[in-house]
Structure 1
């Protein structure tokens, strides 16, 4: 554990120190996020934070490769370097997008190319730990790997809409994944605790922690696509290593792992989705919403989860912290299945989720109470009035009615 924590510290320190350099580069090349109609920030902010994060990850992996404890990770194959190469390719793609604003087809093609290169380097889905299912076709394995990696990259990119949100969510979810992978490694072997997935998660959490001081509200730099896509790729890579490279016999053998309590057979499948629950949910809702309106799934709007949190009345920081809590509930709730019986885990996870829901909807209750008090003071019914598009417009010269919806629209980046 101490070795992984040391790698995490190295990744955090290098990222923290290199992020000002990334900001300087962004200012020199003009990679600056202007204020748009859907944005929260009120002044232009440089992006390219992903440059420092990618360099921090690469330095952490090189540092780890020199440690005797982790020699088995680098001796078996080139998976670790394939992940570093994939991250570098995605960072270069994001760099180009942050500077020149690439169209979505070009970005998608670049994402597929990076995911494919990583798959050819050995990071690919081969087995699924459910009934010992094996993906026999190399073409199908390649397709499944590319799909998972591209999905994760875009999910993290979608949720990167508030200062500190994406980095914090991945840091929290990555910590849960790190804990699970480490415990799985210890349970599977009593002598060799080295694991590529655990190493990747340690470095991933480290670069997020190192970047957050520069990115938390009010942010001095955004991670940009060069950062969000790298985070998604690294999370997907670790998930593939755990989910698609694990020996099914290890999961299915009751003598090796206690399936009834410690390591349910389905957990390697569930945990990656639990870690990325908010990004995946936000992306799914956005795609369905836009397609239902006849728009491109990549068309921006102001209906993301973080936009809705602001619309409820939460401040910028409070909205981010609440989304952190929901990520922790899902990720650590799933990880808790490793340690405790599932009934006990579901009970406590449900209790925490109810508390989180009350906090999330708190401003709505306050709003309804204010409307109720205003209606009582005016002698009018205390019913909540919703703007009706079909209602007649006010007469010429009459003062416009005021309502919460008439306030200037807040923006979100």
Structure 2
């Protein structure tokens, strides 16, 4: 217990110290978010949350988690994303270089670390759905999708951080329920390293009134971390047993995944690029309905927790996978329909 507490304390202290060090430096190197037509905030906000989270996790993991090829490749992949995300935060890069780096990271994950989703589980009550080598391609696509899902969801204060905590905490809970508590230190370190960022991003008790954003560096790092943990936790390999079933992963990452696909479908139907920024995300709709940014954060977080609880309870009571998949598809179709027709609902309510 003392060992775990020490690891979490180091993650917290390093994360908050990194914020304090970078706060005065960020404006000097252009690592700030300026308000524009889409970004309604006051002044230049330092984009250092992601760097602080990564630094806290890196230092704590190096000191308290046994080093392995798997862990080293995770941090190398994360460093690449934090780097390109930081460059994007400073120079506002085009889609192409970001996608190239995401593809490189996905390649490292699959072919370097050997992590890929090869078994979907008994989704149709006819036996395990095995992907074989196609699972490598699928996992690379899933990796890029998860990275962009968390990047897209980062639209209001605290949202990407909260979604990350919901998913990572769910992984930790499911791991413990599977009597595999030895593997929860990294998820716990991740959650604790996010807390200082949330304090500076959301808390009204921030004594000096300093505010920071996660930035693309942070949201992409969170997306990679989530898909890395989910792929490890849902697949049985020669080295480890799966902690929970693949269909459960859909529930604990539900909001970022649903929001990304619903928005991309809507953009494609309108003839726009699926990566074109707009004001059609769930948080935008909540605010159009009259909720404040903070109220929207609480509402969306509550919805994400509700979805995660469905997955966790489904795992505890071993609900048939085809039932969980069917319920998820119903939830996604409902969510997508609501997103597509949100403006009609808003006009009717007003």
- The answer to whether the 8 Å contact 1:23/1:49 transfers is no
Cα distance, 1:28–1:127 mapped onto 2, change above 3 Å: same
CA drift of 1:7 comes to 3.3
Deviation string, structure 1 residues 289-322 (Cα, Å, up to 9, x no partner): 1111111111111111000000111111111011
Gaps of 5+ in 2: 205-209, 336-341
Residue number in structure 2 paired with 1:301: 278
Residue number in structure 2 paired with 1:37: 37
Residue number in structure 2 paired with 1:199: 185
Which 10-residue stretch deviates more, 144-153 or 102-111?
Answer: 144-153
- The answer to whether the 8 Å contact 1:127/1:243 transfers is no
Q: Distance in 2 between matches of 1:173 and 1:9?
A: 21
Residue number in structure 2 paired with 1:254: none
Cα distance, 1:100–1:310 mapped onto 2, change above 3 Å: same
Give the total of aligned pairs: 321
Q: Distance in 2 between matches of 1:273 and 1:133?
A: 16
Residue number in structure 2 paired with 1:13: 13
Equivalent runs, 1:185-334 vs 2, <5 Å: 185-186=179-180, 193-195=181-183, 198-216=184-202, 220-246=211-237, 267-334=244-311
Residue number in structure 2 paired with 1:407: none
Residue number in structure 1 paired with 2:339: none
Cα RMSD after superposing both structures: 3.1
Cα distance, 1:270–1:126 mapped onto 2, change above 3 Å: closer
Q: Distance in 2 between matches of 1:233 and 1:298?
A: 18
- The answer to whether the 8 Å contact 2:164/2:222 transfers is yes
TM-score by length of structure 1 reads: 0.70
Residue number in structure 1 paired with 2:57: 57
Q: Distance in 1 between matches of 2:24 and 2:112?
A: 33
TM-score by length of structure 2 reads: 0.82
Q: Distance in 2 between matches of 1:273 and 1:2?
A: 34
Deviation string, structure 1 residues 134-155 (Cα, Å, up to 9, x no partner): 5543xx3432222121111100
- The answer to whether the 8 Å contact 1:32/1:45 transfers is yes
CA drift of 1:25 comes to 3.3
Equivalent runs, 1:16-165 vs 2, <5 Å: 16-65=16-65, 71=66, 74=67, 77-125=68-116, 127-128=118-119, 129-130=121-122, 131=127, 135-137=131-133, 140-165=134-159
Cα distance, 1:294–1:200 mapped onto 2, change above 3 Å: same
- The answer to whether the 8 Å contact 1:23/1:47 transfers is no
Gaps of 5+ in 1: 66-70, 187-192, 252-262, 358-363, 369-383, 388-403, 405-413
Deviation string, structure 1 residues 340-367 (Cα, Å, up to 9, x no partner): 4659xx9xx9xxx9xxx9xxxxxx9xxx
Deviation string, structure 1 residues 97-149 (Cα, Å, up to 9, x no partner): 11111100110011111221233332411542444555543xx3432222121
Q: Distance in 1 between matches of 2:313 and 2:14?
A: 31
